[in-house]
Amino acid sequence: MVDDDKVDLAYSTLRGLDYTPCADPLTCMVTYGHNGHHSFKPPSAHVHINYRDSIDIYKKSEILWKLPSLELSAPDNVLGPDIILASDPRLPQYKRLGKGQGAFQKSEYPVRIPSVHRFVEALIRLKKWNLTHMLQYVPYWAVMLTYVDEIVDDDGLFDVNYLEPSCRKRYLKSLKGPMKSMDLVKD
C-alpha cells in the first residue's frame, strides 16, 4: 500500500529491482486466482516475484484511508502505534505454518506496515464499507478478522484496548458468535 500519488513510483521502483511485470494484469492468475475471480480488491498495480507470488500495490485511500501518511522520510524512531517496521523484532522471526514468512530482515530500505491494531480497524471498516456498497469482498474481511482472533492474538501483538472505540465494539461483538452482516453496518 502506498500513498495514492506514489503508485507509479512504487511500480517503477519494483521494476527497477528486476521484478517481473505482469503480462496480462486484467486476467492474471496470481491476482485473480484460477477461477478468474478475486477474493479481494484487485491491486492498482503488481509485479511478480515468481510464478505464484506477487507484490501488489494498493492505493492507501482504497484500503487504509484512516492511516496517516506513509512518507518514507518519516524517521523510524518516531513511528507510533499506527505503523511498524516489517523487520520489527516483536514480529515472529521465522516461518510458521499458517503464520506467514516471519519478520523481514533488517534492510537499508525498511518496509513499513500497519500495526495489528490499525490493520484490524481497517478490516472492520472495509467490511462495513463493502457491506454498505454490496461488494463481493465481505467474506475476505471476515476471514482476515478470524485470522487475527485465532492466530495473531496468540502472539501478544494485539490488544483490543488499542482499537478505536467504535472498532473495539464491533470486534468484541464479532467474538461473541456469528456477526450478522447488518450488525456491522448499524454502528
**Cell digits of residue 108:** 537499508
Statement: residue 20 has pLDDT above 60: yes
Statement: residue 187 has pLDDT above 60: no
Report field, pTM of the whole predicted structure over 0.85: no
- Position 181 scores a pLDDT of 45
Q: What pLDDT digit, counting tens, does each position of 61-76 carry?
A: 888 888 776 665 555 5
* Amino acid present at 65: W
27-58: burial string, b at 16+ Cβ within 10 Å, e else: ebebbbeeeeeeebbebbbbbbeeeeebeebb
Q: What pLDDT digit, counting tens, does each position of 83-115 carry?
A: 888 888 777 766 666 566 677 778 777 777 888
SS3 85: strand
- List of residues 6+ apart from 17 with CB closer than 8 A: none
Residue 86 half-sphere exposure toward CB, CA atoms < 13 A: 12
Backbone angles phi, psi at 178, to 5 degrees: -60, 130
- Residue ranges per domain, the chain? 4-62, 116-186
Cell 511500480 locates to 11
**Mean pLDDT to the nearest integer, 126-133:** 74
Residues 15 and 4 sit within 8 Å (Cβ to Cβ):
no
Q: How far is CA 144 from the centre of its chain?
A: 9
- Position 5 scores a pLDDT of 92
